[in-house]
Amino acid sequence: MGVSLPLRWRGKQREGWIRVAFRRGRFSNPEETLLGEGLEGVLRVGGRNLGVEGGDFKAELSVSGGELLLDRWYLKLEPPPLRIHTQGKWRKGRGVQDFQLELDWGDSLRLSVEGALENFGDGPVGRIHFILGVPSLSSLFQHHLLPSLTDLDPRWVDARVEGTVRCEGEVRLNGRNGGVLRGEWNMEGVSFATPDGPELAGVSGRIPFLLPLGEVGKGKAPTLAEALDGEIRIERIEVGGQRWEDIRLPLRARWNALEIRNAVEIPLFGGMVRMEGVHLGPFLPLPPDGTGRLLLKGIRLEEITRDLPTGAVKGTIQGEIVPWVLKDGDLQSRGELRVSLWGGEVRVLRLWGERLFSERRRLGMDLEIHHLDLEEATQQLPFGRMGGVLEGEVRDLVFSFGQPESFELRVRSVHEKGVRQYIDAKAVENFSILSSGVRTPLLPWFKIYPYSRLGIYCKLENDVFILRGTIQEGGKEYLIKRGWLRGINVINRNPQNRIPWRDMLRRIQRMFAGEGQKVRIQMGGAP
């Protein structure tokens, strides 16, 4: 590291200046969470009217090259240089007055701070006004963030970010009582896109904030009754083939909270999602808690399921999640969603989520199955043909990492006048493959068999399936019980069956093996 230290001192004005020019400079904090290497630049520090009672200080730093490591974020400093200029008046016992700081990093980042702070002993007291600007998000992203991001995940290389962002606000500090951070983010023409991911275009507007500083306790009574209004406009969002245009979110910041002022309706899959009373707060400490109401109307199931290998399922989804409550990253809700399909209805109840803001999020729900027409269902599913009406429930259906983690299913047939209860040979064979892993050796003499009752219990826990019949008669356990005169029995000969996840996937593969390209099951997880 090369350093030159010319010192100038004028005794009469009590003025002194030190100029430090550095090359290949390096620094680090003890924890090595902040590191600098190969730094090139100039630091000029000095002041006037210097004495034991205080003085006017000034500092200028210009860094034209080098590398920085902020925790795990790597930054390569390239021209234009990073310039920091600060000045103020320090008076003993009165703190810092007329404090100013300017940071200029070309188009990437600009920060302007001014204010006064005093009484550092019991925590600072004072006011600071600040403006943080990103004149070009593209420049900040391309030059300073992308190298680190692509190192973490190469898919970032094709990401595109544009627009400008500006944050103006005020910090009021009140010693031990903490303080208030208030202001707003302004955005103009912000867009974000990745080649295969979501696209956000034309985001503009203002997001206000009114947040506590210092000790933050959730549930702490609001100390400020004021509210700041703002609005976000989004020209276009595209996610997974869905496209939304011209979305307006009227916002209101309250003490440590953010609300959507009015109800917002968003078209989704041919229907409508209506959000009411959305309140995110307490906002700090993160993640924010929140509450609201969600209403779904006329969402078309065939649009959601159009890419299924079995073909789209016709039906609709509607209902109310009233209210949803978010606390410490976990979601609880009341209300129900009603999915109309295959001549019946599936009710989705007690939707919940755990660790929603982490990769390890889990989503859970209960399902009630009402009056499903088996003939209609099996015409679509390549399982084999069946007739009858099905009732049942799925308790504690939990998904994690995009896969079912656990559930407990009970279904049974219900007699309905005029509805024929039957099962074909292929469906019998598939039941056999699912429960025992092998095809039935009994060759079918008749293509269609009548049955009198169907009762199935299936449980998944810790990647192990249990498949049982719920009809107990004569010491046997039936999944399907034949009719009085003719028909077919499907009997579970192994009540202790425990089918590991991978075995079940293979069985499902075998079940659909005859379907050619129609159905493809992917083996999930590590081998």
- Nearer to other proteins (CB atom), residue 72 or residue 486: 72
- Unique residue bearing structure tokens 């997880």: 525
Region for residue 261 given its phi and psi (left: phi exceeds 0; alpha: psi -120 to 50; beta: otherwise):
alpha
Pair of tokens at residue 173: 């500090």
Binding to other proteins by residue 496, rule CB under 8 A? Answer: yes
Comparing C-alpha atoms, which of 297, 289, 348, 357 is closest to residue 324?
289
Neighbouring residues of 125: CB distance < 8 A, sequence distance ≥ 6: 95, 117, 118, 119, 173, 174, 175
Contact of 111 with 131, CB cutoff 8 Å: yes
Binding to other proteins by residue 67, rule CB under 8 A? Answer: yes
Write down the least CB distance from residue 442 to other proteins, Å. 10
Coil, strand or helix at 381: coil
Binding to other proteins by residue 286, rule CB under 8 A? Answer: no
- Nearer to other proteins (CB atom), residue 121 or residue 404: 404
Pair of tokens at residue 373: 């027409």
Count of residues interacting with other proteins (CB under 8 A): 51
Residues 386-445 binding other proteins (CB under 8 A) are 399-405, 436-441
Binding to other proteins by residue 490, rule CB under 8 A? Answer: no
Binding to other proteins by residue 34, rule CB under 8 A? Answer: no
Pair of tokens at residue 325: 């409550």
| Selected binder of other proteins within 360, 418, 485, 517 (CB under 8 A) | 360
Beta strands 490-491 and 476-482, pairing class: antiparallel
Pair of tokens at residue 274: 């209506």
Write down the least CB distance from residue 26 to other proteins, Å. 9
**Cα(99)–Cα(312) distance, rounded to whole angstroms?**
65
| Selected binder of other proteins within 8, 13, 34, 37 (CB under 8 A) | 37
CA terminus-to-terminus distance, the chain:
52
- Nearer to other proteins (CB atom), residue 36 or residue 267: 36
Contact of 288 with 298, CB cutoff 8 Å: no
- Nearer to other proteins (CB atom), residue 263 or residue 442: 442
Write down the least CB distance from residue 522 to other proteins, Å. 11
Coil, strand or helix at 39: strand
- Nearer to other proteins (CB atom), residue 80 or residue 437: 437
Write down the least CB distance from residue 447 to other proteins, Å. 18
Q: Note the Cα 437 to chain centre separation in Å.
A: 38
Comparing C-alpha atoms, which of 174, 171, 53 is closest to residue 122?
174
Binding to other proteins by residue 463, rule CB under 8 A? Answer: yes
- Nearer to other proteins (CB atom), residue 13 or residue 403: 403
Using CB under 8 A, which of the segments 108-116, 304-312, 321-329, 460-468 binds other proteins? 460-468
Write down the least CB distance from residue 490 to other proteins, Å. 13
At 354, the amino acid letter reads: E
**Cα(296)–Cα(298) distance, rounded to whole angstroms?**
7
Q: Note the Cα 233 to chain centre separation in Å.
A: 21
Binding to other proteins by residue 309, rule CB under 8 A? Answer: no
- Nearer to other proteins (CB atom), residue 145 or residue 317: 145
| Selected binder of other proteins within 176, 219, 221, 462 (CB under 8 A) | 462
Using CB under 8 A, which of the segments 160-168, 287-295, 474-482, 506-514 binds other proteins? 506-514
- Nearer to other proteins (CB atom), residue 138 or residue 400: 400
Comparing C-alpha atoms, which of 245, 244, 160, 248 is closest to residue 204?
248
Binding to other proteins by residue 74, rule CB under 8 A? Answer: yes
Write down the least CB distance from residue 497 to other proteins, Å. 7
Binding to other proteins by residue 470, rule CB under 8 A? Answer: no
Cis status, amide bond into 80, omega within 30 of 0: yes
Comparing C-alpha atoms, which of 139, 235, 228 is closest to residue 188?
235
Binding to other proteins by residue 1, rule CB under 8 A? Answer: no
| Selected binder of other proteins within 27, 73, 120, 357 (CB under 8 A) | 73
Residues 132-191 binding other proteins (CB under 8 A) are 147-148, 151-152
Write down the least CB distance from residue 332 to other proteins, Å. 19
Write down the least CB distance from residue 514 to other proteins, Å. 8
**Cα(13)–Cα(56) distance, rounded to whole angstroms?**
11
**Cα(473)–Cα(476) distance, rounded to whole angstroms?**
5
- Nearer to other proteins (CB atom), residue 148 or residue 318: 148
| Selected binder of other proteins within 237, 247, 356, 464 (CB under 8 A) | 464
- Unique residue bearing structure tokens 């290389």: 157
Contact residues for other proteins, defined by CB under 8 A: 32, 35, 37, 67-69, 71-74, 147-148, 151-152, 360, 362, 399-405, 436-441, 462-464, 493-494, 496-498, 500-503, 506, 509-510, 513-514, 523-527
